[in-house]
Structure 1
Amino acid sequence: MGEGLGSCSMEELQQIEQQLEKSVSVVRARKNQVYKNQIEQLKEKPQPQAKPAAKDHQIQRENQPYAESSPSSDVVTELFIGLHRSN
């Protein structure tokens, strides 16, 4: 807890500092590993739910191969066969 360090030599203080730095490094590495594991677990939860929805969308597109891809693809055309009559 830092008590009694006044009687330590400079070399002892440097050794204590190195031990503290190593300990902090181990704690940080462990914390990062725990975070990575938690992130992976969270990523796995929504994936099984997302796959059926994507599969349903693919099946729907296969059943409607000529369906319009978006509302902006609506095209109005006028086809005249023969002579055009004006009113």
Structure 2
Amino acid sequence: MLLVVNELVANAYDHTGVLVTDHRVRVEVEDSSSARPAPGGPQPAGTHGRGLLLVARLTSAWGSTPHPPGETVWAHLTRDATVLECERW
């Protein structure tokens, strides 16, 4: 599953859906959830609950924009050495 997600994000980066400027990259993901995203508190042995904590820590800004029937979750990545290193993955 992770390979499929990685390929879809890579294609979006190459072709559409990712706004790149000289200073930042904006990534947007749409879903049909009406619940606003919020970083959770993962259990030490849990396998979920860390995603938005990582997003909040690794981005310059993130949030969501509601729209019927769901929302768009977005994140801004600053184009610095850390982001450029991650892009090589």
TM superposition score category, shorter chain reference: under 0.3
Q: Which has the higher helix share?
A: 1
More strand as a share of residues: 2
Structure exhibiting the larger radius of gyration computed from Cα positions: 1
- Normalising to structure 2: TM-score of the pair? 0.18
